[in-house]
Amino acid sequence: MKVTFPHMGSLAIPMKALLEEAGLEVVLPPPTSKRTLTLGSRHAPEFACLPLKINLGNYLEALELGADTIIMAGGVGPCRFGYYGQVQREILRSLGKDCDFLIFEPPAGDFKGLASTCRRLFAGCRPAGILRGAKIAWAKARAVDKLWQVSLWARPREVERGRTSKIIRKLYHKLDQACEMKRIRRIVREGIEELKSQAKGEPKAHIALVGEIYVVLDPFSNQYIEERLGEMGVEVSRTIYLSQWIVHHLVLPTFRLHRPNRSLGLASGYLNYAVGGHGLETVANTVLAARRRFDGVVQLAPFTCMPEIVAASILPRVSKGEGISVLTLFLDEHTGEAGLVTRLEAFVDMLLRQQRQRRQGHGILSWA
Amino acid sequence: MGYYLGLDVGSVSTNFVLLDKEGKVVWDLYLRTEGRPLVAIEKGLGELAKENPKVLGAGTTGSGRKLAGVLIGADVIKNEITAHAVAALALVPSVQTVLEIGGQDSKLIILRDGVVTDFAMNTVCAAGTGSFLDHQAARLGVPIEEFGKLALKAKEEVRIAGRCAVFAESDMIHKQQMGYPTEEIVAGLCSALVRNYLNNVGKGKELLPTVVFQGGVAANLGMRRAFEKALGTKVVVPEYYSVMGAVGAALLAKEEVANTGRSKFKGMNVANWENEAGSFECPHCPNQCEIVEIKQEGKVIARWGDRCGRWSNVEVAV
């Protein structure tokens, strides 16, 4: 059995560790590229969202490399993602691809389905290996997120442009290679030090990044928006991290511990119930960003994403009510940068102007 | 006497303006980009050289702003939103809403107390922009310059779908076959495009007067009237509506030079220099970035298009 799974940001680092420690052979899809996108869009329904297309491209490229078993997450609720696994499985079947497709459905009160999928995947694996894998994977997931968070802090402060991105790429490579807890901890400790030591300046503005989880976590699909904003001197706070998502959506529900997410209550008055995906989180996090005195919010969403469309239509009211600027970006197959760069530059320009106006009072018309 | 040069390199048109020290437009030029920005920029520089102005500072904007900027040595390279807002504010200080419709895109800028507070650009569809109007005018056999005037002649207007250019076109064909007069179809089309703009770009925004309408499409009298009808307020079209981006770029250059004290503009010689743009696909990773390389007088002056900085960070002659 040669196992593969779709990319989503740096998911591959912890995921590969889990599967390999358990004793499975992993075939990673090549990093998501324009070729992936082309392959995926060719075979996906035209109206499907970007994540489905990229997933499909990832599978096709992994199958070329000899993978024969695909792991995919399932889902419940109003977001279409819930049936993407099944749709993708059928598409691959109609293309004549011979592979196993394991879909991990969230345990909505019933563990039988999840347990049997796990048994199929880990059949023949030693329990000790699986446990060790889970431990290392969890450590790597947290390490990846911690380092990313520090890089978002460091990038707008970096002295040499592009340095932070270089460091983070190197650190991720090291993390990927590491297979001992001690080594992982050291990489994080030294990595934080290295990222911080090259950062001297002050950021021009603070922007919170909200939106749909896949496009927020995956730099290829959001056209490296965090890097772009960081290099414009903007400190970005991302509101979704993989490790935090795992705790909230996998670990806690499994142990029947539903810690109510207090920040979601912030959306009340604007949106009072879940609309699927991260729609409610998007609204709540925008309110939170305003209360924390961020300069602006960027909402990321795949084109045709229903939960984010609902959120996007509510955000103008939040923007007005809470006094915060919001830029909504719908992402799709286009890889041309000009449109995105123009919008980001204009948005940052606007925030800086507003900042200056707040500081200096009204009526000063300097644009430089 | 010195002047400030503004350059707006858009998808459909490439515009040049010269402002005097008071910020008044003294010379302007509107060229078709025709998909070859480099050629259009060179042509414009050639025309400019005939005027032989003393340029104190230069700014570029538009989707080709980076290319234009490295070619001439611009003091500011600014996005279109900021440039258009600056120009509208300078000419109409009371402006609170800027409607800008160009060749391929449309924008909406909201200002309060002289500061941009919100903006939007069309995201998914180019219906209603200049190239669509061009196309429809050609199909109806009406010169684009007459297109808007024709709409004013209509007593009634027929209903045309506005959401999508394909729907609009099939509606128009149907109404033509039914025998409606051309002017009523044109008037209907203008209303449909305005409806589309307000629903799409203007969604959720508060459009308060003074409303300024600029960009190439502002020439269209039918579109002006349709906006006035939909918004219930007068729409101001500035004298240099078609080159407002370039005006903004020149104003920004003026400010920048006032701050830095000197200009990076390469001088009017630039009009005689040989420029060349090439591209290649980087073979170093599966991303296959397309690298653009700009040469001036045989020397590489800029490269871009790579994600990792392998090419764009390499020292190039300036």
Digit-coded pLDDT (tens) for A189-210: 999 999 999 999 899 999 999 9
Digit-coded pLDDT (tens) for A55-112: 999 999 999 999 999 999 888 777 888 889 999 999 999 999 989 999 988 776 677 8
* Binary contact (B81, A342; C-beta < 8 A): yes
Per CB-CB distance under 8 Å, the chain A contacts of B104 are: none
Smallest Cα–Cα separation from B222: which of B182, B270, B262? B182
For residues B11 and B53, membership in a common domain is answered with yes
Q: What is the pLDDT of residue A292?
A: 94
Report how far Cα B79 is from the mean position of its chain's Cα atoms. 10
* Binary contact (A354, B115; C-beta < 8 A): yes
C-beta of residue B284 within 8 angstroms of C-beta of residue B301: no
Is residue A366 predicted with pLDDT exceeding 60?
A: no
pLDDT greater at residue A189 or residue B299: A189
User: Tokens 């080594």 label which residue?
Assistant: A183
Digit-coded pLDDT (tens) for B111-140: 998 889 999 987 666 666 788 888 888 888
If one counts every other C-beta atom within 10 angstroms of the C-beta of residue B127, the result is 23
Angle between helices A338-360 and B80-91 in degrees, nearest 10: 50
Digit-coded pLDDT (tens) for A27-45: 999 999 889 999 999 999 9
For residues B267 and B222, membership in a common domain is answered with no
Cα torsion A353, A355, A356, A361: sign: positive
Cis peptide leading into residue B210 (ω within 30°): yes
* Binary contact (B286, A224; C-beta < 8 A): no
Q: What is the pLDDT of residue A257?
A: 65
Q: Judge whether B256 is closer than 8 Å to chain A, CB to CB.
A: yes
* CATH number among 1.10.260.40, 3.40.50.11900, 3.30.70.260, 3.30.1330.40, domain A205-368: 3.40.50.11900
For residues B257 and B313, membership in a common domain is answered with no
Digit-coded pLDDT (tens) for A236-249: 999 999 998 888 77
Identify the helix (H) or strand (E) that includes residue A217. Answer: helix A213-217
Q: What is the mean pLDDT of residues A210-230?
A: 95
Please give, rounded to a whole number of angstroms, the shortest distance from the CA of B248 to a CA of chain A: 10
For residues B9 and B57, membership in a common domain is answered with yes
The mean pLDDT of chain A is 90
For residues B114 and B210, membership in a common domain is answered with yes
* Domain stops at, among B237, B258, B289: B237
Q: Judge whether B205 is closer than 8 Å to chain A, CB to CB.
A: yes
Please give, rounded to a whole number of angstroms, the shortest distance from the CA of A9 to a CA of chain B: 15
Smallest Cα–Cα separation from A345: which of A249, A225, A263? A225
For residues B148 and B206, membership in a common domain is answered with yes
Q: What is the pLDDT of residue A364?
A: 45
For residues B100 and B222, membership in a common domain is answered with yes
For residues B72 and B144, membership in a common domain is answered with no
pLDDT greater at residue B121 or residue A235: A235
Identify the helix (H) or strand (E) that includes residue A85. Answer: helix A84-94
Report how far Cα B69 is from the mean position of its chain's Cα atoms. 16
Q: For residue B28, what pLDDT band results from cuts at 50, 70 and 90?
A: very high
For residues B257 and B288, membership in a common domain is answered with no
For residues B119 and B219, membership in a common domain is answered with yes
Number of structural domains (chain B) is 3
Smallest Cα–Cα separation from A56: which of A11, A94, A109? A94
Q: What is the pLDDT of residue B315?
A: 59
Q: What is the pLDDT of residue A165?
A: 94
Q: What is the pLDDT of residue A259?
A: 59
Q: For residue A368, what pLDDT band results from cuts at 50, 70 and 90?
A: very low
CA dihedral B197, B199, B203, B205 (to 10 degrees): 60
ipTM of the complex: 0.80
Q: CB neighbours of A53 closer than 8 A, spacing ≥ 6?
A: A37, A40, A41, A44, A333
Q: What is the mean pLDDT of residues B105-116?
A: 91
Q: Indicate which CATH number applies to the domain containing B33.
A: 3.30.420.40
> What is the share, in percent, of chain B residues with pLDDT greater than 90?
51
Rounded distance, CA A234 to CA A176, Å?
28
Rounded distance, CA A355 to CA B208, Å?
23
Q: CB neighbours of A153 closer than 8 A, spacing ≥ 6?
A: A195, A196, A199, A235
For residues B108 and B150, membership in a common domain is answered with yes
For residues B265 and B288, membership in a common domain is answered with no
Domain range for B312 is 274-318
For chain B positions 98-157, those within 8 Å of chain A (CB to CB) are 113-119, 121, 123-124
Q: CB neighbours of A268 closer than 8 A, spacing ≥ 6?
A: none
User: Facing residues of A25 across strands?
Assistant: A2
> What class, spelled out in words, does domain A2-125 have in CATH?
alpha beta
Per CB-CB distance under 8 Å, the chain B contacts of A330 are: 123-124
Rounded distance, CA A257 to CA B124, Å?
42
Q: What is the mean pLDDT of residues B293-308?
A: 84
For B86, nearest residue in chain A (alpha carbons): A367
Q: What is the pLDDT of residue B226?
A: 94
C-beta of residue A230 within 8 angstroms of C-beta of residue A150: no
